[in-house]
C-alpha cells in the first residue's frame, strides 16, 4: 500500500485579511502582503517541493469532497455554522480571534476538514498504509463555537467523529506537535476516554492561558489529556526526549486504533512565531518514532494533518522530511540550513535543564 497525500488548490485560496503580520491594518500599521503569517505559500511551496524532487509521484495524491454539514454538526453547533456560511456568502468576515475569511471561506474550510476526514477514512479502511492531509485553513485551535488562531473548523475533530460514526475505529490518539497548544482539540475531547490528546508546545505562546501541565482531562477523560509545555529553545534533542519519555509510553498505555498527528512546523528554528530550534530532521525523527509505535499498536495506521508553520522557506523541507519518512522513500530534499540549526542547539548545561524538565513531566503524567 502507498502513502496518501490529500490536497486541493482551492485550500490555497483562503484569504488572511488585511493584516501586517499579527497586527490589523490601521493607524500606524501599513499593509504587509500576504497579510497574516498563515498564508498559502508555506503549503503551496511544500507541494511544489514534492513535485520537484519527484516524491509526489510515489504518493497516492487525491483531493476530497467538502465535509458535509452533518459531519460538521458533530463538532460545531448549527448557529455557528449558519453564521459562518452567512458571512462567507456575503463576502467574508471575522468571527473570532485572527480568523478572517473571504468569499467562499465556509466552503474552503469545509474542504480543509474534508481532506482530513478522507485521509483518516482511507487509512482506517485499509486503502493506504498512512496518509498526509495538507489542510488549510488549520483547525487545532478551533472550539465548537469560537474560531481562533487562524482556525475556522476543527479538522481533526471532524475527521474523528466521522470515523466513529462510520464504525471505522473506536480509540484515537492525537499527537499535536504544532508549537502552539492544541486548545480546541483538547476542549472537544476533554471529557472523553476514547480519544487521547497529547500536545507538545512552547509554554505560554498561544493561547497564553491554556496548555498547563496539570490540565489532564475531566470526568471520564481524566488522564487522557497530556500537555507538555516545553521551555523556549527546547531544540532537537529535547523534542526527541519528550517523544521518547512521555508521548510513546502514553501511546503504549492507551493502545489506539490509529494515531493522528496535528502536524505543525512552527517549532522549527526559522519560524517567526516561536523559538524552539527544531530542524527538518527533528520532524523526520519524530515521524519515525510515531510510525514505530503505530506498527506495534495499530497496524501502522498513522494520519498526519497539516496545522501551522510560518517560514515560507523552511516549512517545505520540514514537510518533505515527514512525508518521505511516511512513504519509506529514498527521495530526500537535503536541508540547506541543517548545519545552521545544529549550531544553534542548546549547550550541555541548558540541555541538562531541559532534560530535567521533561523527566519531571514524564513522572507527573506516567508515574
Instruction: Please state whether 39 falls in left (phi above 0), alpha (psi between -120 and 50) or beta.
Output: beta
Q: How many CA atoms lie within 13 A of 202 on its CB side?
A: 22
Helices (H), strands (E): how many in the chain? Answer: 12, 12
* CB neighbour list of residue 28: distance below 8 Å, 6 or more residues apart: none
* Contact call for residues 264 and 307 (beta carbons, < 8 A): yes
* Contact call for residues 67 and 158 (beta carbons, < 8 A): yes
83 vs 141: CA distance, rounded Å: 19
- Chain-centroid distance, C-alpha 123: 18
21 vs 164: CA distance, rounded Å: 38
* CB neighbour list of residue 136: distance below 8 Å, 6 or more residues apart: 11, 12, 14, 40, 43, 108, 112, 306
306 vs 131: CA distance, rounded Å: 11
Strands (E), the chain: 3-6, 19-20, 23-24, 60-62, 93-94, 100-101, 130-133, 172-176, 195-202, 225-230, 258-263, 302-306
Active site residue: 141, 162, 181, 201, which one? Answer: 141
Q: What is the phi/psi pair of residue 224, to 5°?
A: -105, 5
40 C-beta neighbours (distance < 10 Å), count: 17
Strands 60-62 and 3-6: parallel
Active site residue 141: yes
* Contact call for residues 233 and 276 (beta carbons, < 8 A): yes
Residues with catalytic roles: 141
Amino acid at each position: 500500500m502507498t502513502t496518501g497525500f490529500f490536497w486541493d488548490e482551492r485550500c490555497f485560496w483562503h484569504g488572511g485579511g488585511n493584516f501586517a503580520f499579527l497586527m490589523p491594518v490601521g493607524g500606524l500599521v501599513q499593509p504587509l502582503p500576504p497579510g497574516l503569517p498563515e498564508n498559502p505559500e508555506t503549503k503551496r511551496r511544500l507541494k511544489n517541493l514534492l513535485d520537484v524532487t519527484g516524491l509526489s509521484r510515489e504518493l497516492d495524491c487525491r483531493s476530497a469532497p467538502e465535509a458535509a454539514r452533518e459531519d460538521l454538526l458533530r463538532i460545531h453547533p448549527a448557529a455557528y455554522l449558519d453564521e459562518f456560511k452567512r458571512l462567507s456568502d456575503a463576502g467574508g468576515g471575522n468571527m473570532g480571534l485572527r480568523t478572517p475569511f473571504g468569499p467562499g471561506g465556509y466552503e474552503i474550510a469545509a474542504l480543509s476538514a474534508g481532506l482530513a476526514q478522507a485521509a483518516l477514512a482511507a487509512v482506517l479502511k485499509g486503502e493506504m498504509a498512512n496518509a498526509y492531509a495538507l489542510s488549510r485553513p488549520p483547525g487545532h485551535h478551533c472550539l465548537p463555537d469560537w474560531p481562533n488562531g487562524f482556525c475556522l473548523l476543527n479538522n481533526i475533530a471532524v475527521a474523528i467523529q466521522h470515523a466513529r460514526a462510520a464504525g471505522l475505529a473506536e480509540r484515537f490518539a492525537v499527537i499535536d506537535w504544532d508549537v502552539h497548544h492544541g486548545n480546541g482539540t483538547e476542549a472537544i475531547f476533554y471529557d472523553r476516554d476514547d480519544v487521547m490528546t497529547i500536545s507538545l508546545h512552547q509554554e505560554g505562546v498561544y493561547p497564553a492561558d491554556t496548555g498547563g501541565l496539570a490540565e489532564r482531562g475531566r470526568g471520564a477523560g481524566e488522564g487522557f489529556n497530556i500537555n507538555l509545555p516545553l521551555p523556549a529553545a527546547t531544540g532537537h534533542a529535547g523534542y526527541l526526549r519528550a517523544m521518547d519519555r512521555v508521548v510513546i509510553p502514553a501511546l503504549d498505555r492507551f493502545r489506539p486504533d490509529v494515531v493522528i498527528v496535528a502536524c505543525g512546523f512552527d517549532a522549527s528554528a526559522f519560524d517567526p512565531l516561536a523559538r524552539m530550534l527544531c530542524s527538518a530532521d527533528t520532524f523526520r525523527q519524530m515521524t519515525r518514532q510515531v510510525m514505530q509505535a503505530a506498527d506495534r499498536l495499530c497496524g501502522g495506521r498513522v494520519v498526519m494533518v497539516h496545522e501551522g508553520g510560518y517560514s515560507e522557506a523552511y516549512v517545505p523541507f520540514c514537510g518533505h522530511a515527514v512525508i518521505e519518512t511516511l512513504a519509506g522513500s529514498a527521495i530526500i530534499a537535503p536541508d540547506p540550513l541543517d548545519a545552521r540549526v545544529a549550531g544553534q542547539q542548546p549547550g550541555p548545561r541548558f540541555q541538562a535543564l531541559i532534560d530535567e524538565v521533561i523527566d519531571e513531566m514524564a513522572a507527573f503524567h506516567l508515574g
